[in-house]
Structure 1
Amino acid sequence: MTPGRDLAAALLAAGPLLRVLPPPVRVRCADPATAAALARLCDRLDVPAPVPVAGAADLGSFERVLSGLLDLDANPAPPPADEARVVAEARERDFTRRFRRTDVRTGDGAVLPTYAAGDPQRPPVLMVSACGMPARLAEGWADRLSRDFHVLVPETRGLFADLDGFSGDTGVVAQAGDLLAVLDRFGLRRAHLIGLCGGAVLAVVAAARAPERVSSLSLWHGDFDLGDESPKTDHQQNLQALMAMAARSPQQAAAVHAVLTNTMLGVAPPRLAHLVTYPYATPELLRRYCRLNGAIMGTDLRPYLAGLTTRTLVVTSEDDHTAHPAGSRAVAARIGGSVLHVAGHGDHLSLFHAEESLVDLAARFVAGEVALGTRSPAEAGRRVPPVPTRGGEEVFP
């Protein structure tokens, strides 16, 4: 294996977080040669350089996340003579090279970095990821789907391209409208929407407000609110309460910043922590995120589900302790002809590991290979009888 290749790839993956954390950002590094080369390598990659420190330094939460990702003691920098080649190879393989970035400007001035891949002549799929997450968090999904579809992955308003002085609308209608703005920018009349976690809420709102623009809905471990029809997990209740506090003012955001950061780090899968903690990087970023995601978590979806007939797949699991599965069941029950898939295990964070069987299910649904049947609204959302497969996983006939 080429020395430095893993480090270059990790630095590119760390880029979104490194760009918003206030410097200096320290990372563990006991190897003097790697420490000496780190700034030079970051400069070539156009990534802010962290400061290497040896020994048992008292690192902060984000510094520990980045130290684990970069693992500088196991991933030495390349020799100077190989740097240019290693950097070029890392860039070529990186998400931002394989997915073309277009900045979409909305009617109220928000800027949405949107990443696209796949043949533009193929059916379009708009991936609505969890609020505030870098687009590369959905990389596994987008890579697989782009083999068969034209895939678009937008990032959240106010948290990426327009960080300075953002004062735009943070409600769900504006956020759902952003999805339509992306379709307009790419000249698309209709698209399949795949919503993950809070993105599932925005997908439903967009479909309700502009059903003619949505070919199908695929809703995965949605963070749904349907009043007394959808109980909340402890995680949802606690997070919603803390977000409400942080959204009130910059001072309140600063006061709860450490608590929310530690809450998210406590549940984040280690290899995704540098991405899922992005909106917690600073108190101001957190305040905006809490306004945006708090609006998503607190929106009663029932008015938007009324009369919705869009072809829909709803996915949850028996043991999702993050987003209560009862919410997904209630959503499926309110969409006539929808299909509900209940896996044995999983939650909205494990989704981003892009397990092959799950992403294949999404692709098959978009392609029309999952039959919906002709059930009445009262019957909608009932589980389709499983077909035995390897490991006993449920799939659709």
Structure 2
Amino acid sequence: MLGRKTQRAVADLVARVLSVRPLAEGLDVPARVVPVNREGVVVPPGMPAAQGRALAKLLERVASRAGVAGLAPAFDAVFDDLQVFERVISRRLALTEWVTRASVVPVDLLHEVDRTVAEVVRGSFEAFARKETVLSSDGVPLNVYAAGEGDEAAVLIPACGMPAVLTETWLRYLARDRRVLTWESRGLFGASGHCGDHRVDIAAQASDLFTTLDHHGVSRAHVVGLCGGAVIALAAAAERPERVSSLSLWHGAYGFADRSLETKHQHDLIELMTTAARSRPSARVVHAAFCQAMLTSTPADVAHLVLYPYATAELLYRYCRLNTGITSTDVGPYLPRVDQPTLVVTSRDDDIAHPAGSERVAAHLAAGRLRVEPHGDHIALFSAADALLKVAADFMTEHRAS
């Protein structure tokens, strides 16, 4: 029988396996996994062969029971010889840390792992946010998610190309007393049968918001936009104001005709994405450089999620076409057409999306309210503390949908 310490360690492993699902399933081939810690260091060195086999069997069992494909234990491989995303996944799983916390599960006790896997899955994001795949207005499959109950609804628009699970903190908090809906960017996340050459302009992406609302029978909702999602939110509110009761826009990556309010990060990223979006051959040429740049600038604790759209050259191509559809949009013409109450949030030290962009947006909205935090950026936003999430919830309460 498994001891409590081992059961807790197995539960942690299950959670980590679930967390790498988007990246593992986005790769062209199974990701080789080697036993390292979170820094990519083999500790302890020289794992006994029997222990390694037992750990590999445990990982295979957990992945299978959790429904996560694309993981391939390769304990004879060298960490530095792995591909970029294989290293990200191996560091996230941190199998050597697991070994130091618990005894390896014997093969004849693997069936006892199943109960722990089931318990973790029942409490996971995948179980909390009900996922369905629906067709957009132009026939593109969309993964849409719903959580919570209540008469009032909110729609969360995440950063372009990011897995829905990256917004888990937001969904769990906001769903305490309302229905919360979200979706994943079109053409990504297993949109099989589509070549990725469908519409990617801002109008198409805004229409996906209405597809999500219609599918869940919601006529009017509060809309929360994160990063590039803030641009989609403005476009949707301007196009169909009767569907949007209020807006809150967080660290928006806004584009203007004069391109004067771009950080160096925005400018460099837009230039690289524009190149990758030109064609699939162009995306293949810049893919390796893109991956290395993002890997070195992305914190390890979110790399397994944030790096999803860079997993393959094909994903990069699709993602860059979507994102340039956002970054090439001048939000200026939308602002006079948006009269819903709007909370615009930025921070003084956001070096990813220029804070002055948020200031300009708030100043030109009829009912705009600017909030400037002392610190914060896009990465911190994904795991926002309750105090910040309460700001979003309180704004919704103040402007309840009618």
Normalised by the length of structure 1, the TM-score is: 0.89
Counterpart in 1 of 2:199?
A: 169
1:254-265 aligned at under 5 Å gives the runs 254-265=284-295
C-alpha distance in 2 between matches for 1:280 and 1:244: 15
Q: What is aligned with 1:40?
A: 61
CA distance in 2, matches of 1:8, 1:220: 32
Match of 1:13 in 2: 19
**Equivalent residue for 2:40?**
none
The counterpart of 2:82, out of the listed 30, 54, 59, is 59
Structure 2 counterpart of 1:206: 236
Q: In the alignment, which residue of structure 2 is the partner of 1:146?
A: 175
CA shift digits 1:284-303 (9 cap, x unpaired) = 11000000011101100011
Which residue identity does 1:65 align to in structure 2?
V
> Residues 187-336 of structure 1: matches in 2 within 5 Å?
187-228=217-258, 230-336=260-366
In 2, distance between residues paired with 1:314 and 1:10?
34
Matched, 1:360 2:390: yes
Alignment-mate amino acid for residue 244 of structure 2 = V
Mapped to 1, the partners of 2:294 and 2:237 lie a distance apart of 30
Q: For 2:399 and 2:240, how far apart are their aligned partners in 1?
A: 24
CA contact (8 A) 2:346 2:373 kept: yes
User: CA–CA distance in 2 between the matches of 1:174 and 1:182?
Assistant: 13
Deviations 1:15-68 (A, max 9, x none): 111111122311222451212322232222221223332464312211111111
What letter corresponds to residue 134 of structure 1 in structure 2? P
Rounded to whole Å, the distance in 2 between the matches of 1:53 and 1:229 is 49
Q: Which deviates more from structure 2 when the two are superposed, residues 280-289 or residues 261-270? A: 261-270
Equivalent residue, structure 1, for 2:38: none
Structure 2 distance, partners of 1:250, 1:177, is 26
Q: Distance in 2 between matches of 1:107 and 1:153?
A: 16
Per the TM alignment, residue 229 of structure 1 is displaced from its structure 2 partner at its CA by 7.2
Segments of 5+ residues of structure 2 without an aligned counterpart are 36-46
Deviates more, 1:344-353 or 1:190-199: 344-353
Kindly state the Cα deviation for residue 269 of structure 1 after the two structures are TM-superposed: 2.1
Do the aligned partners of 1:109 and 1:168 also contact (CA within 8 Å) in 2? Answer: no
The DSSP-based 3-state class of the residue aligned with 2:376 is coil
- The CA distance in 2 between the partners of 1:54 and 1:350, in whole Å, is 36
2 CA distance for matches of 1:85 and 1:357?
Answer: 35
The answer to whether the 8 A contact 2:202-2:326 is kept is: yes
The equivalent of 1:373 in structure 2 is none
1:132-188 deviations in Å (ceiling 9; x for gaps): 100000000100000021001211110024144333211110000100111111111
- The aligned amino acid for 1:62 is F
> In 1, are the aligned partners of 2:205 and 2:232 still within 8 Å (CA)?
yes
8 Å CA contact 1:112–1:161 kept in 2: the answer is no
The AA in structure 1 aligned to 2:64 is: D
Stretch of structure 1 that moved more, 315-324 or 348-357: 348-357
2:186 counterpart of 1:157: yes
Aligned to 2:135: 105
Match of residue 388 from structure 1: none
Distance 1:228 1:298 in 2: 11
User: 1:229 touches 1:330 (CA, 8 Å); kept in 2?
Assistant: no
1:123 equivalent to 2:152? Answer yes
- Specify the alignment match of 1:390 in structure 2: none
Task: Note closer, same or farther for the CA distance 1:114–1:143 as it changes in structure 2 (3 Å cut).
Answer: same
Quote the Cα distance in structure 1 between the aligned partners of 2:14 and 2:180.
Answer: 26
Distance in 2, matches of 1:102 and 1:165, equals 18
Cα distance, 1:230–1:342 mapped onto 2, change above 3 Å: farther
Distance 1:11 1:38 in 2: 8
